[in-house]
Structure formats: C-alpha cells, structure tokens
Homo-oligomer: A and B are copies of this chain.
Amino acid sequence: MVTRADVARLAGVSTGTVSHVLTGARSIRPETRRKVLDAMEQLGYTPNAMASALAGGRSRIIAIVFPSQPRTIVGSDLEYVLAATEAARRRGYHVVLWTSGADDLNELRQLVRAGLVQGFLLMQVAMSDERVRFLRSAGIPVGLIGRTRAPGHVPFADADFEQIARLVVDHLAGLGHRTIGMLNAPYERGTRGIGAAVRFADAVRRTCEERKLGCTIVESQHTVRAGREALRELLEAAPGTTGVISYNWEATLGAMHEARALGRPIPERLSLVLCSNGEPESTDPELTTATPPATEIATAAVEALIDHLAAPEAEPAQRLVPSVLVERHSTAPAPGS
C-alpha cells in the first residue's frame, strides 16, 4: 500500500506538505506542488479515506434517509437517489442509503456518533416531520429533499409547486377548460410525498380559484387500480370536469384506462397533465407533463447540505426549483370550446 509518507519521501518533502497539496489549504510553491503530484502519479497513490476521516473528524459521507413506515420507495424516488449520489461525488462525498429498520431515530444518531456519517438528507418529508425535529435537536446536520411546513433554517430543495400549479392550470385554461380535477397522491401522514401532495393540492386549488375555475381533488393510492377508481370518483363528483391534473404516476395509468372505458377518450374528451415523475412517453397518448425536476432538486439539496456541513452558522440554502411544461398529446381544447 502506498501511503502519504511514501509520496513525501519520493517528492523530498514532508507529509504535511503532501496533505496541503491535496487539500489546497495553504499556498505551495508551484515547483513543490509539481514534485508532489509527480510522486503521487508515479506511485499510483490513493489517499486512505478512513485515516483522513479519523484524523480530520470528517467522513465525507452523508446518508439519504427514507421513512421506514410505508416501505414504498417507487421508481421515481430512485432518480433522486441517483442524482444525489452523483452530486455528492462531485463534491468529494459519498452517499449511503439508509432505511431505518424500525422507526429508530436513535439509529441515525448512532451513525453520526460513530463518525460514519456527517449528516442526513431526508426524503419524503412530511409537513411536520419528526425526523427533522429529532435530528436538529440532537445537533445533527440535516438537509431536505422537499420541505416541512416551516423549514426554518434547514437547508432544502423542493419543487416549486406554486409555479407548477400555475403552469398547468393556465395551460388547461388556455385550452378552454373551465372545470379542473386533480388526481393526487395519498395525503395521509407518513405516506410518500405527503408534504408535497398537500402543498401541490393547495397550490392547484388556489390557482383555480384565482382563475375562477372549478376544482375537485381526489386522492389515490399509488396503484393502477386505485387510479381507475379515483377517476371514476372524480367524474362522479364533478361530471363537468374536462381537464385533469395528476400527481400520481401509477394512478395515471389507471385513469387513462378508465377514461377510455367511460367513453371519455384522452385528449378528445378529457385532457390530462402529469405532474409527478413517471414515464410520460410510454403511454398512449403520450402525456403532457410538468414534473418536478428530480435531478436538479436532488443536486441542489445535496449541495445545500454539504455547504451547511462546511459552514453550520451560515444561512442555509433553500431552493424552490421551477419546472417546465412539456406539451405532448394528452391535452387538447376543451370539448365544445
């Protein structure tokens, strides 16, 4: 194994100098730097992560945490995980995926005490999230993908649901739709995306009110069948609905199915916009979307957390990431407009 001492010896400098070349923490004579870099190159040196973690008190590892309660991580969550992993790597950090076995928040604290993990990135953040409270009060760094009702000084990145609601409602209104429906993700506490579901529903409702449009919201579990039932329920509650906003990919599949069965083909007799991550191009017709930009959100959240790790006293970054509307073939002018 090649160690820092080997490099220092070959370069004819001290190990401290080698360290500083690596971290750039103090100015080095260009000539010295060259010698050191050459020596590292020549020896095929790789720094030992454990030694530097021990000596420096920083593991350069953060953990992504999913709630343990509903064991539902769906495909789209993975996009966040992957993006976060890569964003962390670009900053020289590693990511571990943590899924609390029980609701054992103490386990999380242990990870930090063990020096394994420097901080946590929480996914599926609830409006009022006990994990945030617990970790904050234990003095453990936390970042959010999503946000709580009152995020205070916690670094986070989330979709800008207000903006998405405007984007989508205006798109439908522009096509002449006057009665909007929404197929939401489940609201109930502990469920995937709960905070997001609440905020998005609020945003849609408010936007519709401002535009003087009808608005009916139903929720659906993340299954195809639930989606069918939810659409039926929606159209029974508000038969005049011609434009539907979905925040539930699996339910969307069921709704498309059901729309056809009910003689409301998409887009001729019912317009549909998907606002959750999914596979909009795999359906028939392809779905018009305005989805949360998962990669960008995850990246921003990771950077916010890592910056916060470096400067705990500074005001943490809090970002709402806007989306764009992509028109495909599931929206059309309202019937008879």
Q: A51-B54, A74-B75, A75-B75 are in contact. Are A97 and B81 (CB under 8 A)?
A: yes
* Contact call B71/A82, Cβ cutoff below 8 A: yes
Q: Does A242 contact B (CB under 8 A)?
A: no
Task: Report which residue of A50, A54, A78, A86 has the largest number of chain B beta carbons within 10 angstroms of its beta carbon.
Answer: A50
A48 and B95 contact, CB distance less than 8 A: no
Interface size class of A (residues with CB under 8 A): 35 or more
Contact with B along A74-90 (1 / 0, CB 8 A): 11011001100110010
Known pairs A50-B59, A279-B223; A284 contacts B96 (CB<8 A): no
**Cα–Cα distance between A54 and B3 once the two chains are bound (Å):** 13
Nearest-CB distance from A70 to chain B (Å)? 13
- B96, A95: Cβ atoms under 8 Å? yes
- If A73-B82, A86-B101, A89-B101 are given as contacts, then 12 extra A-B residue pairs at C-beta distance below 8 Å, sorted by A number, are A46-B110, A50-B114, A51-B115, A94-B96, A94-B116, A95-B96, A96-B96, A96-B97, A223-B282, A224-B284, A225-B284, A228-B284
Which residues in chain A, 49-82, are within 8 Å of chain B measured between CB atoms? 49-51, 53-54, 59, 61, 71, 73-75, 77-78, 81-82
Complex partner residue of A99 from B47, B85, B225, CB under 8 angstroms: B85
Q: How far is the CB of A49 from chain B (nearest CB, A)?
A: 4
Q: A114 contacts B282, CB within 8 Å?
A: no
A14 within 8 A of B: no
A-B contact pairs, 30 of them (CB 8 A): A1-B113, A46-B110, A46-B113, A48-B115, A50-B53, A50-B114, A50-B115, A51-B115, A54-B54, A61-B96, A71-B82, A74-B78, A77-B78, A81-B97, A85-B98, A85-B99, A86-B101, A94-B96, A95-B96, A96-B97, A97-B97, A223-B279, A223-B282, A224-B282, A224-B283, A225-B283, A225-B284, A226-B282, A228-B284, A250-B279
